[in-house]
Amino acid sequence: MNIQISEIANLPTKHGMFLAQVFKEKQKEHLLIRTERFDCPAPLVRVHSECLTGDALFSRKCDCGEQLDLAMRLIANEGCGAILYLRQEGRNIGLFNKINAYALQDQGLDTIEANHQLGFAEDERSYEIAEYMLEFLGVKKIRLLTNNPNKIESLKSVEIVERVSLIVASNPFNENYLRVKREKSGHFL
């Protein structure tokens, strides 16, 4: 992989102080957010795919923004961990196609059916860059913050010693989305 790596900068957040570093892969810039202390035997790690609508605009159609917020809080409280913020908007179909998928969902399709209607697989994401970032950090074991069994299967370069659930409350706008994630994608919800 041809990856450029930025300098490390302080990132003060509502959950406390983190360190930030960017891993540039072709045209995508992935963000590593970690605690200053990172020498624990198995840091708490969240591999989070970008969700502009949920993370920045607080959309209630998904649980992404709430999961990111909870992950940051848990990692800050733990004092040893990281968030790998991967630029894979809309399960890696991009913002344009994600909004088109939202429009199809408004017409009654579920998230998977909408992706298929647009010519995409259920999930187009990959996690090679996440493995690269973890290897760069010298991490051998992690406690993974996820409900997604595919992330567990995809991270082969590290030992996942524990899966930590990220369960957030549902709302009337995301109940069907969460049901589909559980029933069709096997998420632990």
Q: Which of 73, 87, 123, 163 is catalytic?
A: 123
Q: What whole-number distance in Å separates Cα of residue 56 and Cα of residue 51?
A: 8
Phi, psi of 160 (to 5 degrees): -90, 105
Q: What whole-number distance in Å separates Cα of residue 127 and Cα of residue 31?
A: 13
CB atoms within 10 A of CB 151: 20
Q: What whole-number distance in Å separates Cα of residue 112 and Cα of residue 176?
A: 11
Q: What whole-number distance in Å separates Cα of residue 142 and Cα of residue 160?
A: 5
Helix (H, G, I), strand (E, B) or coil at 24: strand
**Is 123 labeled as catalytic in the residue annotation?**
yes
Q: Which of 46, 91, 125, 143 is catalytic?
A: 125
**Is 125 labeled as catalytic in the residue annotation?**
yes
User: DSSP character for 140?
Assistant: -
Task: List residues with catalytic annotation.
Answer: 123, 125
